[in-house]
Structure 1
Amino acid sequence: MGQKEMGCNNYNGYYLLEGPLKLDLIDGSINVLGFELNNKSQRRNIIVPIGRSLPVIANKSCIEVSPSHKNIIEVKDNIYSIFYEIYKKVSNSKKILIIGPNDSGKSTLAAFLINAFWSDGIKMKIMSADLGQNEIYCPSFVSISDIIPPYIPGWRDSVKNVKSCFVGDFSSYKNREKYIECIERLDNENLIIDTDGLIDEDAIKLKLSLIQELNIDTIISIGINNIEKYLNKKVNLINLDKIVKKEKTKNQRKENRDRLISNCILNSNKIILKLNDLKIINEQNLFPGYIAGIEANDSNQYFGIIYKVSDDKIIILTQYIGEINKIEIGSIKLNLKNYENLLKLK
């Protein structure tokens, strides 16, 4: 992250925090996506991950920042006024599904809503159903978690009790049945679901099929026209224009996914397993580089990568620590050479 700038700067008004950034609140208060940090808060620091922009409201705040106060940009727009209006409309909801195109503001809105619920004493869970950009756990998984407020997308210290289900692809298109199965498996009361950015007719129908299965009572549609024609059940529907106007390029989204995968590799260890002791699903993909789901005894699935394969053994990189009897191999094969420096650390 770099060296912290010495001294404490005062802020009052609306600001955008550009990641990577670590912020320590010394005095005053700051509203972070619907959750207020102040002198009485248990947590008084936050991290904004690289590639993330975080709108905040500072109230006579004395703040220390690393690597630089240049990452705090004063803005005129108060996007929170829009967010709070949306929160008023959904505050009685139990399950909220957010859909919209890439970079339309889904994750930022989901974070604000979950923080606002927690501020009101309602402990909503967050589900990431965006396979390519899962910022709760790892790409190719659907994940659900509790939060440690304030929840900030991509900041792993703001989530806990993470549960995941392996779909095996970066797109919900490729394995639709497993995608729906994973979401249903992780279903929970008091839930906000953040989805991927696919919004063609088939993708919208796939997402809306969750209404009946999960008993969703509120849909927030961002930047999608005429979604009403796809609905066959009465729900609380909120239509919004795009919240975020700046769209990432395809390469920027890939870079972000690569960062997420790199983080998952850094948190993994090499484990040697005997093939005869394993049940392997999709054994035809048992080759180095393929992402896998490592099944735990509690049926939770953990990130894994096939590292080496021999006649009777395999070496996998995985975050799971415990006895392994079953692995499921997906359809994504990584080029391990791209992660050579990380693998040397294992």
Structure 2
Amino acid sequence: MKKEIIIQGPCNIKILEGEAKIIGIRLEKGQSIQINSNRTYTLIYNDNTKLEMNCKKLLDNLDLNWDKTAEELSESGGVILLLGSIDSGKTYLANLFANLATPNIKIIDADVGQSTLYLPSFVAELRPNRKSLILEELGYEKIDFFGDITPSTNPKLHVQKVLRLYETTPKEKLTVIDTDGWISGLKAMLHKFELIYSIDPDYIIIFDQKMKDTLPNNYRNRAIFFKSVNLHKSKSDRKNNRITKYKKYFSSAKRITIPSENLIGRQITDILYSAWGDYIQLLQEEPCIGYYISLDLLKGALLGLVKNREIIGAGLLADLTSNELVILSEKEGFSGLLLGYISLNDKFEERRIRFRKCKS
């Protein structure tokens, strides 16, 4: 009889007799695996399996059958869209598919709030070449800059960014698109409908049975229900996850100095710049001309770095002095910058950049 339990690391697992599976990775007698993080995993094994482990057991006697269905879909191939609320298991399932279908799979990370493959506010794509407990350690192959941690800011632009990755990178036997958890309300529903119609997936995996009834009629027969496990992170946990990603990326980044006109235009005075056929004012003084952006919020702005019309990485605006910008980034050789809606303070906490039109 099959046993299915949910465990949490950090811990070690060793198979003494029989075999077991963890997120699509098969372990046989004598093999072991080390979980270095506090992440949760489903461990599947038979009654005759003997194992030695020091993992924390969170739930047992489960009957999720994620692995069985995922194996069948991996064999059949096609395009799979994952739809569900926050922490329903979408990213875990994407990781499971990656381990089952490697190297014939393309993963698109469309979750700009809890990004897996790159930084928050970016969409990313990866064709993994090996199995892994943590999908994000495999990196990425291509990215695009959305500029915010929720698609609600500009749902149509978000769909365009996802569609661009889907259409402009090589096809694989299996494509899995991991979406965000924004599903409540009419605007969220229309956003997901637009994703569905734009991608036209072969399968839609949902984690809430009620969601199936809200799908467009001609897509309901493509929906597959997966039981969800209620292991939700708190809002602060999700925030801390983003902070950790920012800190890891930018703490080791290089300082790159470029002309300020690359981002905010030609300097006219200490606080006034000319760009986009209008004026940008960095301090709130009267009379206000053109647009006002707080200098305090502009410092720390999260940027998309552009080269040959492609996004090649992320940057952080560390300082703005005279006619120069100081950018923190792991990437060099970029020719342009894109400004989004997110700025980070010295603790890598997010702030929202607001652009205010001056009164005429």
TM-score, normalized by the shorter chain, greater than 0.5: yes
- Number of the residue aligned with 1:180: 159
Q: Residue 111 of structure 1: which of 90, 95, 110 is its match?
A: 95
Give the SS at the match of 1:259. helix
- Number of the residue aligned with 1:342: none
> Which consecutive unaligned segments of at least 5 residues does structure 1 have?
1-11, 64-68, 340-346
Matched, 1:142 2:153: no
Cα distance in 1 for residues equivalent to 2:76 and 2:26: 21
Q: How many percent identity over aligned positions? A: 23
1:268-283 map, 5 Å: 268-276=253-261
8 Å Cα contact 1:279/1:326 also seen in 2: no
Cα pair distance change 1:196/1:296, threshold 3 Å: same
Cα distance in 1 for residues equivalent to 2:223 and 2:36: 28
Matched AA of 1:294 = L
TM-score (norm 1): 0.77
1:16-55 map, 5 Å: 16-19=6-9, 21=10, 23=12, 30-38=20-28, 45=33, 47-50=35-38, 52-55=39-42
* 1:60 Cα offset (Å): 4.0
* 1:191 Cα offset (Å): 1.2
- Number of the residue aligned with 1:218: 203
Cα distance in 1 for residues equivalent to 2:164 and 2:35: 31
Cα pair distance change 1:84/1:328, threshold 3 Å: same
Cα pair distance change 1:260/1:338, threshold 3 Å: closer
Give the SS at the match of 2:127. strand
Q: Residue 203 of structure 1: which of 154, 166, 188 is its match?
A: 188
- Number of the residue aligned with 1:156: 136
Give the SS at the match of 1:36. strand
Per-residue CA deviation, residues 87-126 of structure 1 (Å, 9 max, x unaligned), is 43564241100111111111122222232223xxx61121
Q: Residue 92 of structure 1: which of 76, 80, 86 is its match?
A: 76
- Number of the residue aligned with 1:313: 324
TM-score (norm 2): 0.74
- Aligned-residue Cα RMSD (Å) equals 3.3
Moved more, 72-81 or 107-116: 72-81
Cα distance in 1 for residues equivalent to 2:257 and 2:310: 21
* 1:195 Cα offset (Å): 0.9
- Number of the residue aligned with 2:345: 335
8 Å Cα contact 1:15/1:73 also seen in 2: yes
Greater C-alpha radius of gyration: 2
> Which consecutive unaligned segments of at least 5 residues does structure 2 have?
266-274, 281-292, 350-360
Cα distance in 2 for residues equivalent to 1:226 and 1:30: 33
Per-residue CA deviation, residues 43-85 of structure 1 (Å, 9 max, x unaligned), is x7554534x211223654567xxxxx3x443753345634313
